[in-house]
């Protein structure tokens, strides 16, 4: 049984989806979704324990040996990611019941849960597979289901946002598949590990260079690297609350993983990669994300949009860490991937509570919310502090490693850029603080109650995780450090 964990990780949620559609019942679909999410978490924990010591799990689909068959290949890098995704999924799904009931028409509930299960399967599939084309398939599974999930939003603009994401997401996926096609032409294999070995011996460099470009652009679109982030703010702002929390905490993180896998493992052995000025380009774009997106966030009047722009900025921290090329930098980038998923997950879940009670989360409608929804508001403040990077929150751990990595290189200006951009986070977080605590609640707001417990408990679990993993970093830094070491091994 345990030897089948890699495939079960994907198949369990994948099979749940059609069952939900066949049964056509919202409550049953929710129970199923909870069970598969928790099962996924259990499987992920099992896999993580298995590979935490640096070993490798290789699973051959249909027992066809790689590189002929599809191989699922788990090392500490993707085990860490799978653990994160299923952790977030397990928390979010508990929360979803109340929120979905309020935001989505009753007859579509089962569809929502089915799409959620598909999306989860797709994201997990991307993480565990060791095959470039299989990865594309899962990329599409997760993307298509997330288009549907976003379009289920109450606001009519959700349709437009989903459409925008569909167009850009499809362009991204197409770029990716073109890149994979070129690599296949050059190497004759789709197995990522095999591809890495053969790529080192390829003589003609132009097609490989083109493949690198296509894959970079394609994945950058999916991970919302500035300036390819245009789909993200609308998608996050108008999607149902649960979907925003789930996607913000997982989807972009998975794409960053794909990028790291290709850069460090597949292209890592290739001389072409080293000959290109990749690091300066990535550092520039990361800095642009950190500053421009943060500055844009300040001027939003929708709180969800504000935090969506903040996500674009935070993605900049992750790519910045990765592009520093050192162990410390990569550890910082990966640990921030984990930490930011927790922080944004917590924030969007709490915002969902406000959306449920107030009906909208524009700044002008939520004045004085700190008095009527004290727990929710205080949770958002704590999450905001983690975004800023106050010590004793996860954000501080990430920032410590990123600044340390820049100082190791002697890049002073980069260190000051990192800490300087977190000042922008202070500004946008404090916009919420001032709206929530310094304005008198309007008559409508004053008669509201605190969010229901079934939403508060999962959301606060995430908030407490932000504090806990800010003080005990054995799991997060340990996992990120091991993943960084594994990725850098491929660069030698």
Give residues with Cβ within 8 angstroms of 37, minimum separation 6.
13, 86, 89, 90, 92, 93, 120
Note whether 299 binds another protein by CB under 8 A: no
Binding-site string for another protein from residue 353 to residue 392, where x marks contact by CB under 8 A and - marks none: --------------------------------x--xxxxx
* Minimum CB distance to another protein smaller for 44 or for 394: 394
Note whether 438 binds another protein by CB under 8 A: yes
Half-sphere exposure of 405 (CA within 13 A, CB side): 25
Instruction: Specify the stretch interacting with another protein by CB under 8 A; choose among 107-115, 132-140, 430-438, 452-460.
Output: 430-438
Q: How far apart are CA 370 and CA 434, in angstroms?
A: 10
* Minimum CB distance to another protein smaller for 274 or for 434: 434
Half-sphere exposure of 303 (CA within 13 A, CB side): 34
Provide, rounded to whole angstroms, the least separation between the CB of residue 473 and another protein: 5
* Minimum CB distance to another protein smaller for 419 or for 457: 419
Note whether 298 binds another protein by CB under 8 A: no
Total residues in contact with another protein, by rule CB under 8 A: 29
Structure-token pair, residue 356: 């449920």
DSSP labels for 300-323?
-SBHHHHHHHHHHHHHHHHHHHHH
Provide, rounded to whole angstroms, the least separation between the CB of residue 428 and another protein: 13
Note whether 408 binds another protein by CB under 8 A: yes
Out of 123, 232, 350, 415, the only residue in the binding site for another protein (CB under 8 A) is 415
Task: Report whether 335 contacts 375 (CB < 8 A).
Answer: no
Under rule CB under 8 A, which residues in 166-185 are in contact with another protein? none
Provide, rounded to whole angstroms, the least separation between the CB of residue 411 and another protein: 12
Element housing 72 (H / E)? strand 71-74
* Minimum CB distance to another protein smaller for 146 or for 421: 421
Q: Identify the CA nearest to 352 among candidates 273, 459, 219, 230.
A: 459
Task: Report whether 250 contacts 170 (CB < 8 A).
Answer: no
Q: What is the radius of gyration, based on Cα positions, of the chain? A: 21
Structure-token pair, residue 94: 């508990």
* Minimum CB distance to another protein smaller for 301 or for 434: 434
Q: How far apart are CA 140 and CA 333, in angstroms?
A: 26
Provide, rounded to whole angstroms, the least separation between the CB of residue 386 and another protein: 12
Out of 49, 271, 457, 471, the only residue in the binding site for another protein (CB under 8 A) is 471
Provide, rounded to whole angstroms, the least separation between the CB of residue 431 and another protein: 11
Element housing 401 (H / E)? helix 394-409
Instruction: Specify the stretch interacting with another protein by CB under 8 A; choose among 50-58, 105-113, 274-282, 403-411.
Output: 403-411
* Minimum CB distance to another protein smaller for 359 or for 420: 420
* Minimum CB distance to another protein smaller for 60 or for 430: 430
Provide, rounded to whole angstroms, the least separation between the CB of residue 404 and another protein: 5
Instruction: Find tokens 């309007």 and name the residue.
Output: 442
Note whether 416 binds another protein by CB under 8 A: yes
Note whether 397 binds another protein by CB under 8 A: yes
Half-sphere exposure of 213 (CA within 13 A, CB side): 8
Task: Report whether 348 contacts 248 (CB < 8 A).
Answer: yes
Note whether 446 binds another protein by CB under 8 A: no
Give 3: exposed, middle or buried? Use CB within 10 Å, 0-12, 13-18, 19+: exposed
Half-sphere exposure of 211 (CA within 13 A, CB side): 25
Q: Give contact residues for another protein (rule: CB under 8 A).
A: 385, 388-392, 397, 399-400, 403-404, 407-408, 415-416, 419-420, 422-423, 426, 430, 434, 437-438, 470-473, 477
């Amino acid at each position: 049984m345990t030897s089948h964990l890699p495939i079960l990780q994907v198949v369990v949620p994948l099979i749940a989806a059609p069952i939900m559609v066949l049964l056509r019942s919202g409550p049953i679909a929710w129970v199923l979704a909870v069970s598969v999410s928790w099962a996924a978490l259990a499987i992920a924990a099992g896999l993580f324990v298995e590979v935490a010591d640096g070993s490798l799990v290789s699973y051959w689909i249909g027992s066809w040996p790689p590189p002929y068959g599809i191989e699922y290949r788990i090392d500490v890098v993707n085990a860490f990611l799978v653990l994160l995704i299923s952790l977030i999924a397990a928390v979010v799904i508990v929360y979803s019941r109340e929120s979905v009931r309020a935001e989505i028409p009753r007859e579509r509930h089962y569809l929502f849960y089915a799409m959620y299960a598909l999306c989860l399967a797709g994201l997990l599939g991307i993480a565990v597979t060791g095959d470039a084309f299989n990865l594309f398939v899962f990329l599409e599974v997760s993307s298509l289901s997330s288009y549907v999930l976003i379009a289920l939003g109450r606001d009519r603009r959700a349709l437009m946002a989903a459409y925008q994401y569909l167009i850009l997401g499809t362009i991204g996926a197409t770029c990716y598949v073109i890149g994979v096609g070129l690599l296949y032409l050059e190497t004759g294999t789709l197995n990522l590990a095999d591809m890495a070995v053969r790529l080192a011996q390829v003589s003609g460099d132009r097609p490989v260079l083109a493949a690198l470009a296509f894959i970079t652009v394609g994945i950058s679109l999916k991970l919302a690297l500035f300036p390819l982030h245009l789909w993200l703010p609308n998608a996050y702002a108008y999607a149902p609350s649960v979907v925003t929390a789930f996607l913000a905490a997982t989807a972009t993180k998975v794409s960053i993983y794909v990028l790291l896998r290709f850069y460090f493992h597949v292209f890592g052995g290739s001389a072409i990669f080293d000959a290109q000025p990749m690091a300066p380009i990535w550092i520039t774009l990361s800095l642009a994300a950190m500053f421009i997106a943060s500055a844009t966030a300040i001027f939003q009047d929708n709180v969800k949009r504000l935090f969506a722009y903040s996500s674009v900025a935070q993605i900049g921290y992750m790519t910045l860490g990765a592009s520093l090329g050192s162990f410390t930098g990569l550890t910082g980038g990966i640990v921030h991937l984990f930490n930011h998923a927790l922080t944004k997950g917590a924030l969007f879940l709490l915002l969902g509570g406000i959306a449920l009670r107030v009906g909208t989360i524009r700044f002008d409608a939520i004045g004085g919310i700190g008095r009527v929804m004290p727990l929710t508001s205080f949770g958002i403040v704590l999450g905001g502090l983690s975004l800023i990077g106050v010590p004793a929150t996860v954000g501080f751990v990430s920032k410590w490693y990123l600044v340390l990595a820049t100082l190791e290189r002697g890049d002073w200006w980069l260190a000051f850029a990192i800490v300087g951009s977190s000042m922008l986070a202070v500004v946008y977080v404090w916009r919420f603080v001032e709206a929530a605590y310094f304005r008198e609640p309007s008559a409508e707001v004053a008669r509201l109650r605190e969010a229901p417990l079934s939403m508060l408990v999962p959301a606060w679990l995430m908030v407490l995780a932000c504090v806990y993993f800010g003080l005990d970093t054995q799991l997060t830094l340990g996992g990120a450090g091991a993943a960084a070491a594994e990725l850098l091994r491929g660069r030698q």
